[in-house]
Structure 1
Amino acid sequence: MFIVIGANGRVGSAVASTLLSAGRPVTAVLHSSDNDADWRKRGAQTAVVDVRNTEALRAVFRTGTRAFLLNPNADVSTDTDREEHATVRSIVAAVDGSGLEKVVAASTYGAQPGERCGDLNILYDFEQALAARSTPATIQRGAYYMSNWDEMLGAAKRGVLPTIIPGDMKIPMVAPADLGKAAARHLLERPCDHDVHYVEGPERYSPQDVADVFAAALGNPVKVEVLPRDQWIAAYRKLGFSAAAAESYARMTAVSVDSGFAMSAPFERGRTTLEDYIGALVAKSRGSHALPGGHGAARESRH
């Protein structure tokens, strides 16, 4: 049995779907009963569990042999660093005594030690905590989510692409579905000592590239508008971020931009191009008005 945390999210759902398509038994770990019936119809078992409930999560892990671990986002109105570190501690503690023979954990390009730098620090600590366990762990560091641009669809229709990334800066991006497929493949591989894999898309893209792809898909010009760095915190605050969360996200973005998003080699490439991703997004006509997340790490609907 394969246990998948975050099965209702973009990456987790792709992990579970890929495993089910391969004929593997899956337990989808859900925070709420939303989509519970849908997963059962698809052949998965389900477990509605708060991952902060260590004992309950360990009990779910004990029903399986391998697990996909993903640290869910905290509400941005809270101190996200504090809340997400607490979630990491619970997930890692649940692995102890679970009997799992292998885990695959979602992390991010640029993960590094430090404090108050969002995913870069939280997911690094996640990696290190797993490395200290006896359970073999594969770390999958993902690039900037292409889905970060979903919320820009409405603005792009009006001819503008707001961004906090320099307009001409090409960075690694990846479709969440490709991260899920790669993670499922790693789950099926033979357990080995702690290893790290990087995953990004077929090419690297800049916000200007994104604007051009939106323009082609929408049939109207789209202009990049870069928000100055000294306005980042205020912009996050306007979106409902707590003071602590806004500062953390802004620092995470600054470190990411200044480091070139910590591009790494070797890495594996997903197949989904930005043109394919945005073309499908436009076809579904989804979007809202928001600031694209600071870093674009391998997380659910944050970046």
Structure 2
Amino acid sequence: MHVVFGANGRAGGETAHALIERGEAVRVAVRRPEQGEAWKARGADVAVASIDDANAVSAALEGATAAFLFNPPPVAGDPFAQATQVGSALAEAVRRTHLPRAVVLSSVGAQHETGTGIIATLHQMEGALAGAASATVFLRPGYFVETWSEVAEAAVAGGTLPTFLEPDQKIPMVSTIDVGRTAAQLMCENWSGPRVVELGGPEDWSARDVAMAFADVLGRPVAPAFVPPEQRAAVLAEVGLPATVATALLGMYEGIASGRVARADGTEHRRGTTSLATAVARIITKIQAAT
């Protein structure tokens, strides 16, 4: 039995889908019963568990041969305190249930304790879960292509793609389609001890590359619109992001710009197969379907 936390999110959902497509037995862990109905329809088992509750996580992990674990994106409060609480609960549950294999969602740049903003919470998670399972993979993907869905309406409606990334700085990016496929593959493999797997797309991309992909799919010009650092806090405040979370998020973009959020030496590197055009086309399709 493969257990997936965060199945209603981007990476967790793709992981659960990939496992089901492989014909594996899957249990998804969700916060509320109604969130599991669609997964039941696909043949998955459903457990209701809050990821910061060690007892609930332990119950969800009973009988698991492998699990996909993650730290939910913070929406309020102190992101670092949340990571400490979640990491502690997950580690306790993993040890309690003697979980054979764990795939822990992390990020490129998580090798650093500081200087990476919100990614430093994943450094905390890696530390908390190191050695908890018999075998653990820390899966470090690059910047999710699907993150651009948060500003995609501007590209669709107005031909501009707002970005906190320098338009021509190429960085590791990857579609969550590939994250899910890779996580599922790792969960089905046999290995021992700790591993770090860094994952990118078929090639590194820039914000300008993403804008060009939007332009190609839409059939009209789309240009990146760089938001300078001094304007970013106001932008995040306008969308209602709490200051503590915004500060950590902005730190990540500073880390990307400085080159600190980058691949680590001595780790296993993989590349996915999902093209930028394919991932962007899916983003646009969802937007158009919702209007």
TM-score (norm 1): 0.88
**What 5-or-longer segments of structure 1 have no aligned partner?**
289-303
Q: Secondary structure at the match of 1:50?
A: coil
Q: Does 1:51 align with 2:51?
A: yes
Q: Corresponding residue for 1:141?
A: 140
Q: SS of the counterpart of 1:4?
A: strand
Residue 283 of structure 2, aligned match among 281, 290, 294: 281
Report the alpha carbon displacement of residue 3 of structure 1 after superposing the two structures with TM: 0.9
RMSD: 2.0
Q: How many residues align?
A: 287
Correspondence for 2:269 among 267, 270, 273: 267
Give secondary structure in 2 for the equivalent of 1:205.
coil
- Mapping of 1:51-70 within 5 angstroms? 51-70=51-70
Contact 2:62–2:97, Cα closer than 8 Å, also in 1: yes
2:130 touches 2:194 (CA, 8 Å); kept in 1?
Answer: yes
Name which structure has the greater RCO, CA cutoff 8 Å, separation 6+. 1
| 2:151 matched residue in structure 1 | 152
- Identify, as 1 or 2, the structure richer in helix: 2
Verify the 8 A CA contact 2:83 2:125 in the aligned structure 1: no
| Secondary structure of the structure 1 residue equivalent to 2:46 | strand
Answer yes or no: is the 8 Å Cα contact 1:172–1:261 preserved in 2.
no
Q: Which runs of 5+ in 2 are unaligned?
A: none
- Residue 27 of structure 1 contacts residue 44 of structure 1 at CA under 8 Å; is this kept in 2? yes
**What is the CA–CA distance in structure 2 between the aligned matches of 1:219 and 1:114, rounded to whole Å?**
43
TM-score between both structures, scaled by the size of structure 2: 0.92
The answer to whether the Cα contact below 8 Å between 1:62 and 1:99 also exists between their aligned partners in 2 is no
Q: Compared with structure 1, are the counterparts of its residues 141 and 243 closer, same or farther at alpha carbon in structure 2 (3 Å cutoff)?
A: same
DSSP 3-state at the match of 1:155: helix
In the TM superposition, residue 115 of structure 1 has moved relative to its aligned partner by 5.2
Contact 2:67 2:187 in 1 (8 A): yes
Q: Map of 1:178-193 to 2, 5 A cutoff?
A: 178-193=178-193
The one-letter code of the counterpart of 1:244 is T
How much identity, in percent, do the aligned residues show? 31
The whole-number CA distance in structure 1 between the counterparts of 2:133 and 2:34 is 34
Task: Report the Cα distance in structure 2 between the residues aligned to 1:134 and 1:279, rounded to whole angstroms.
Answer: 38
Runs in 1 of length 4+ with deviation above 3 angstroms? 112-119, 263-266
Deviation at 1:116, TM superposition (A): 8.2
Q: Which amino acid aligns with 1:277?
A: A
SS of 1:96's equivalent in the other structure is helix
